[in-house]
Chain A
Amino acid sequence: MQFLIDNFPLLWDAFLTTLSLSLLAGVLALVLGTALAAFRVSPIPPLRGLSTFYVETFRNTPLTVVFFFIIFGLPQIDFSVGFFTGSVLAVGLYTAAFVCEAVRSGINAVSAGQAEASRAIGLTFGQSLREVVLPQAFRSVVPPLGNVWIAMVKNTSIAAGFAVSELTASMQRLSNANAGELVLVLVAVVVGYMLITLPSAYAISRVERRVAILR
């Protein structure tokens, strides 16, 4: 126990790094993913193609490879990003593809009558998406989006391989401790992740119940 108390500042910093990495990447993924989903259903073919291409590419690329391209590839076109910024970009861009799929499934779940009615009263594509379809779509995709968020929090662990000292990296850092202490470190790291995922899961189910539409 003394070992954990001694290393508490390190673990706490690691926890905060994981948390801020998750939050920043989450915002990026949500914004980009929603835009991609709107592209995917838009009347303009190149935008649809772009969005499909983006989603198919990122869904089939290992996150480690995305990290690789951003941290070692971007400098080749004269953009250098720090390890933390690079990690936010990698996790965010990768997760955006999954957010797009989730939002799109939500758009598909909105009944066709809603979109037809909004067209009938003369709303444009942008207006009907913003005012009618997306608000309903988001309500029905709370659970899948929540799962994407939880998977993303777990995926931030890969930043440990790219010099970001977040929770998983602290396991590696403290791995020269003795056996009993190491198990405590493992427990601390697992608890750290659960401190983020369990309240999230609870909040998601609350929000889901509050915003659900009865059809």
Chain B
Amino acid sequence: MSAPVLFDVPGPKAQARIRIGSAVGALVVLAIVGFVLLRLAGNDQLDPQRWAVLFDPASGVPQALGEALLRTLQVALVGMVFATLLGLLLAAGRLSDHSWVRIPVTTVIEFFRAIPLLVVIFALFFILPSFGIRLSAYAALTGGLVLYNMAVLAEIFRAGIMSIDKGQREAAFGIGLRKSQVMTLVLLPQAVRRMLPVLIAQLVVLLKDSSLGFIIGYFELLRQARSLVEFFIPRFGDQYTFQLYVGAGLIYIIVNVLLSQLAKYVERRGRRQKATVATEPIRMPDENAPTTTGI
């Protein structure tokens, strides 16, 4: 059901009301934006010279934020690669015919899906050292992201493989392929095409979660901004604090928006391709929300 079903095509009176509503709505939004800008200006936060620090190479800020962005992307990419590999293994394990494989694998998946990511990261960072394994903030963050996301991805892969028409599987067995061949030659290639948008959406989630590095002191964008602020405070006071935080936050948002758009593009393209007609659109096993959602 698309939106216009909910209301009649507006007549002259309704159009007038909608115009009034639009004007009021736009005014309210403008008023809020104006209020925020006014307050910011009142605190001298809009001074162009204060924002210039974000773009002035002499201050070292653009370089520092650029490196931080690379570190952020690095955590997300390394996490994604390992999480994908382990997720594939776990998905295969969960779909296994042997209960001695299926049950432990299911337990692992459900366990990591049930606890907050930050608890996993804290466990690696604060609890492993007392067993003599000392992880750096980078290793703890990446490890946490891998453990958590492999469980999430395993469920996505499982949903993707299950979404393929069962005739494919039966036909593959019918021409005499072995179990592993059915999986690698027939099911996975079709499932992966279907799953690509979900995988990219999950990369956005991973990138978002890499900001947790802030809490354990990994120098991703936010922590980098914080340390720049701490560096500037003795010299310039609070002058650049707000600008640096906003800058770091905006970089996160822009990169994520770009990736989300890519996911949507891939999804649209995939829908047009004939190679994917044998599959239903995948939903997360427990989610009716659109596939490009990641909370």
Chain A residues at the B interface, C-beta cutoff of 8 Å: 40-41, 43-48, 50, 56-57, 59-65, 68-69, 72-73, 76-78, 95, 98, 101-102, 105, 107-112, 115-116, 119, 125, 128-129, 133, 140-141, 143-144, 147-148, 151-152, 154-158, 160-161, 167-168, 171-172, 175, 177-179, 182-183, 185-186, 189-190, 193-194, 197
Contact = CB atoms under 8 A, between A and B. Distances in A.
Contacts of A63: 208, 211
Interface stretch (B58-66, B168-176, B241-249, B272-280): B241-249
Main DSSP-derived SS at the B contact region: helix
Given A41-B6, A155-B116, A179-B131, A76 B40 contact: yes
B204 interface: yes
A186 B222 CA distance: 27
Given A102-B289, A160-B118, A193-B116, A65 B252 contact: yes
A24 B228 CA distance: 34
Interface string B1-30: 111011110100010001001100110010
Nearest to B260: A60
Given A65-B222, A101-B290, A147-B295, 7 more contacts: A46-B25, A56-B257, A64-B214, A65-B252, A77-B35, A115-B6, A144-B289
Interface string B200-218: 0000100111111011000
Given A60-B257, A64-B215, A190 B7 contact: no
B45 interface: yes
13 contacts: A56-B260, A60-B204, A62-B207, A68-B214, A73-B242, A76-B43, A98-B295, A102-B288, A109-B1, A125-B7, A133-B6, A167-B119, A168-B122
B282 interface: no
Contacts of B242: 72-73, 76
Interface residues on B, range: 35 or more
Contacts of A60: 204, 208, 253, 256-257, 260
A81 B286 CA distance: 36
B127 interface: yes
Given A143-B288, A178-B130, A62 B252 contact: yes
Interface in B136-158: none
Contacts of B290: 101, 105
B293 interface: yes
Contacts of B134: none
A108 B245 CA distance: 38
A151 B294 CA distance: 10
